[in-house]
Amino acid sequence: MVEVEKGLNFTAFDSMEDMLDCYRQSLEAKNRSHKTINWYLDILKRYYTFLESSHLIKPIDELGKQELQSYIQHLKESPRWPNKPTTKKDACKLSPYSIKGHVVAIKAFWGWLAEEGYVMHNPLVKFPVPKVPQCLIKTLTIEQIEKLVGAIDKSTASGIKYYCVIMILLDTGIRISELVSTKMADLDLSHGLITVLGKGQKQRVVVFSKWTRKVILNYINTSRPQLCSVESVYLFPAIDGSHISSNSVQQYLKRLAQRAGLEGIRCSPHVFRHTFATQSIANEANVFALKDIMGHSSLQTTMKYVHLQVSDLKAQHSKFSPVAGLFQSK
């Protein structure tokens, strides 16, 4: 543990920077992803900026609930992208989910401070995490998926690549970050398996169908060599041999949805993940097996992903409704 003077003050930026650097090293030692680490640090830097601009800077062992409550109120009145030049005064506000994320990150940081002995006690240990609306994320229907796939230009190398990306996402339910970082060595085409490196550097194996296997083989044999002129270990390489970005897939899907005429329909890799989970449950998949397939650490997380479409609810309702049973028996 790095020795830091008790009551460290945030008034000196260098001291704050050193503290966050220590925190970064701790998160890296716990195998947190770079994306997660940067998310934590960005939030903490934003919290520090708020404390400084609001004249709330104190020794770190004197900061606690009152300052965090003030910060939450500040976030509720803040635009989603505060540093964007084009942000207007009436720009959309931070969502309750984003505000909850800020509180979770700050509470985690203070937990680390107490654990490492930088503060005598954690004043935020019982600080309540803001409640958020329990909204169901809409998934794609089979008809909408057919429209999306039909809008892909499969005569081009890029079209074949993205068709392969979509098929894998829909067939396995893996995260987009897991897919873009998949290497050729992670594929077992003979048995229809992909070894995935998920959150917390945890490996798991997911299965894909014989139909997706054909799509992958076609992509590897025809499209992949055209899209990358250098040797690459990745299944979906960028032109320089690194892997394609998650953002490039997200932007392609937005354009594809417009081309397919799916106005007002959210189309993203995460929606594909929800769609996979929902369709799996609708087709009577074992929720415990789904938990392992999705790479969730708890069953509670899996249940948040799973909800039935209205058509599925109607079909299930007709099976168990006493009223339906009363008239169907006649």
How confident is the model over 228-285, as pLDDT tens digits?
888 999 999 998 889 999 999 999 999 999 999 988 888 889 889 888 888 777 776 6
* 77 has a pLDDT exceeding 90: no
Mean of pLDDT values over 58-74? 89
* CATH number of the domain to which 109 belongs: 1.10.150.130
Compute the half-sphere exposure of residue 92: CA atoms within 13 Å on the CB side of its CA: 4
* Same domain assignment for residues 183 and 280: yes
Domain end, chosen from 81, 116, 151, is at 116
* Most confident range, picked from 14-28, 33-47, 84-98, 280-294: 33-47
Amino acid at 85: P
* 188 has a pLDDT exceeding 90: yes
Nearest to 254 by CA among 245, 239, 264, 241: 264
pLDDT band for position 8 (50/70/90)? Answer: very low
* Same domain assignment for residues 34 and 96: yes
* Same domain assignment for residues 53 and 109: yes
Domain end, chosen from 101, 116, 131, is at 116
Mean of pLDDT values over 210-229? 92
* 325 has a pLDDT exceeding 70: no
Asked if residue 40 belongs to a domain, the reply is: yes
* 89 has a pLDDT exceeding 80: no
Beta bridge partners of 237: 243
| Rg of the chain (C-alpha set) | 24
* Same domain assignment for residues 236 and 104: no
pLDDT band for position 3 (50/70/90)? Answer: very low
* pLDDT given at position 66: 93
Mean of pLDDT values over 132-153? 84
* 168 has a pLDDT exceeding 70: yes
* pLDDT given at position 216: 96
* 10 has a pLDDT exceeding 50: no
Asked if residue 135 belongs to a domain, the reply is: no
Mean of pLDDT values over 97-105? 91
Residues with Cβ < 8 Å from 207, sequence gap 6 or more?
172, 192, 193, 293
* Whether 60 contacts 10, CB under 8 Å: yes
* pLDDT given at position 153: 93
Asked if residue 131 belongs to a domain, the reply is: no
* Whether 18 contacts 41, CB under 8 Å: no
pLDDT band for position 323 (50/70/90)? Answer: low
Asked if residue 38 belongs to a domain, the reply is: yes
* Same domain assignment for residues 54 and 161: no
Asked if residue 81 belongs to a domain, the reply is: yes
Residue 182 three-state SS: coil
Residues with Cβ < 8 Å from 119, sequence gap 6 or more?
6, 60, 61, 110, 113
CA distance 276 to 225: 29
Mean pLDDT of the chain, nearest integer: 82
When divided into structural domains, the chain yields a total of 2
* Same domain assignment for residues 83 and 192: no
Asked if residue 187 belongs to a domain, the reply is: yes
Asked if residue 61 belongs to a domain, the reply is: yes
Nearest to 103 by CA among 80, 140, 128: 128
Task: Give residue 244's domain range.
Answer: 142-317
Asked if residue 175 belongs to a domain, the reply is: yes
Quote the pTM value. 0.68
* Same domain assignment for residues 218 and 267: yes
* pLDDT given at position 234: 95
Mean of pLDDT values over 98-107? 92
* Same domain assignment for residues 228 and 267: yes
The gap from C-alpha 323 to its chain's centroid, in whole angstroms, comes to 42
How confident is the model over 236-248, as pLDDT tens digits?
999 888 999 999 9
pLDDT band for position 187 (50/70/90)? Answer: very high
* CATH number of the domain to which 291 belongs: 1.10.443.10
* pLDDT given at position 141: 86
* Same domain assignment for residues 93 and 196: no
* Same domain assignment for residues 98 and 229: no
* Same domain assignment for residues 108 and 208: no
pLDDT band for position 12 (50/70/90)? Answer: very low
* Same domain assignment for residues 147 and 109: no
* 313 has a pLDDT exceeding 70: no
Nearest to 61 by CA among 18, 119, 133: 119
Mean of pLDDT values over 153-181? 93
* 131 has a pLDDT exceeding 70: yes
* 221 has a pLDDT exceeding 90: yes
